[in-house]
Chains A and B, each alone.
Chain A
């Protein structure tokens, strides 16, 4: 039951003013600029864009600053902002095969066309805190070496030549690409909508689920076939012009996970695939996403459903951290009337319980007396 009450306007207003003060912190410390956040906290910006499902570095950095570094709050701000904007259209699908590659590794092939490019990775660092960064010491310019020219094929294309791996993932010709920002979710869902949900899903949730599949909750034997990070062009057909225009470039991380598959009555044994694609540089999330994409294909591939990571409705319904935080955090809002009702109910039940106890107690006494 909801009863409207008023009050607390001054408290709320003062709380917001206090929040603004605490966000700014000590005024003798210079304020962070959006440029500083974009340049120096780029992976935080990437995460806000990925889970906010909106590619805009400046706005993501602004959200991050406004949210005092609270990721989910920043993601919430970005999601709220996007609802104020009109939709101009759908892009033509990006071509990750034609990427300005910044990092590209494969755990399945040592030597492959285009090579293994480590890029700006935390891998092989010693995870020792660097006291140099307490200050603003000079940083060396990166090394440079003449790059190879030519196409860098996806690893899946290489395996595909032998027919040992399934294709990229087609849907029927008459399938209309689903859009969960436009239509209510329905289960079971097609893989396109599932990937949209996973791509905007909470990194921590997907990471935990991906981890669970590796630990045996849904048998999974994955290899990171390829991870590539870099920039791709975004292009949109403009009806009034009658041709497509390139809007610019975005940075994405793509993961192709390769899984064993025993085969079924219909299909020969072959490798199957899980796919991950996220905004920005975030291979942890792209890898987790590709693990979960693969386990969610259990029904399609005729596998036994034994683990949470295979349960589409469970995974997709709980992967969105804005939804999740809304429902969890609403519990702190006033529930005075509900609670009063519950109090009355517990008091009444308690009274009935005590009356029953007394009655049986007296009965017992009587019985004892009778014996």
Chain B
């Protein structure tokens, strides 16, 4: 976090109706995580600076607050418009330590760090782990992935575009640490897909 005053743009583009908007987004995020693989459409309730998707701006304005530490990938953390906007609209402190982060926002999905480098929670408190919000190009058009697990009847299929190749392998590793491990929200401009740590991902159909 810089001690510099934020640019005026930081003060624009938050929720118009903080209470109702946050409730609506909360419900959407909850549904996305309760029904992994379901594409949840998002209205543009916030207008964050360019590098942040409106869906991610809305999630941030809903879930981030003074008590949650946020890690931003280099693309975002070096962008003062983004850090200023998040600081004003969420009051959340930014952290350079992935292991301290309650949430992480990754704009450059190709450079996604190892999932293991984030907070994994403890056996006693598996919830003390990082939730990753990964911005990807689109929820469709990528290689097809088959999802199974709690919240999915039989199997679901998604085809996110822009995830790095090592993601599937990383995810398998994430599952071996259960109940510890990270949860992921894949965010595209048009909506989100939730990938809680319980979900099993296989390539191909």
Direct contact of A and B (CB under 8 A): yes
Q: Which of B16-37 contact A (CB under 8 A)?
A: none
**Contact status A87-B84, CB under 8 Å:** no
Q: Which of B78-128 contact A (CB under 8 A)?
A: 84, 87-88, 91, 93
A368 to B11, CA, bound (A): 99
Instruction: Please classify the interface of chain A as helix (H, G, I), strand (E, B), loop, or mixed, using the class held by over half of its residues.
Output: loop
**Contact status B66-A239, CB under 8 Å:** no
Q: Is A169 among interface residues, defined by CB-CB distance under 8 A?
A: no
Q: Is A182 among interface residues, defined by CB-CB distance under 8 A?
A: yes
CB distance from A35 to the nearest CB of B (A): 30
Q: Collect the chain B residues with CB atoms within 8 Å of residue A242's CB.
A: 2-6
**Contact status B11-A182, CB under 8 Å:** no
CB distance from B24 to the nearest CB of A (A): 18
**Contact status A87-B67, CB under 8 Å:** yes
Interface size on A, residues (CB 8 A): 10
Q: Is B70 among interface residues, defined by CB-CB distance under 8 A?
A: no
A243 to B2, CA, bound (A): 11
A87 to B91, CA, bound (A): 9
Chain B interface size, under 10 / 10 to 19 / 20 to 34 / 35 or more: 10 to 19
Q: Which of B65, B67, B87, B93 contacts A240 (CB 8 A)?
A: B87
**Contact status B10-A240, CB under 8 Å:** yes
Q: Is B75 among interface residues, defined by CB-CB distance under 8 A?
A: no
B6 closest partner in A (C-beta): A240
CB distance from B123 to the nearest CB of A (A): 16
A54 to B5, CA, bound (A): 30
Q: Is A133 among interface residues, defined by CB-CB distance under 8 A?
A: no
A337 to B176, CA, bound (A): 44
Q: Is A241 among interface residues, defined by CB-CB distance under 8 A?
A: yes
B66 closest partner in A (C-beta): A87
Q: Collect the chain A residues with CB atoms within 8 Å of residue B87's CB.
A: 239-240
Q: Collect the chain B residues with CB atoms within 8 Å of residue A182's CB.
A: 67
Q: Which of A45-102 contact B (CB under 8 A)?
A: 86-89
A182 closest partner in B (C-beta): B67
Find the residue from A86, A87, A182, A240 having the highest chain B CB count within 10 A: A240
Q: Collect the chain A residues with CB atoms within 8 Å of residue B84's CB.
A: 240
**Contact status B65-A87, CB under 8 Å:** yes
CB distance from A187 to the nearest CB of B (A): 16
B2 closest partner in A (C-beta): A242
Q: Collect the chain B residues with CB atoms within 8 Å of residue A89's CB.
A: 66, 91
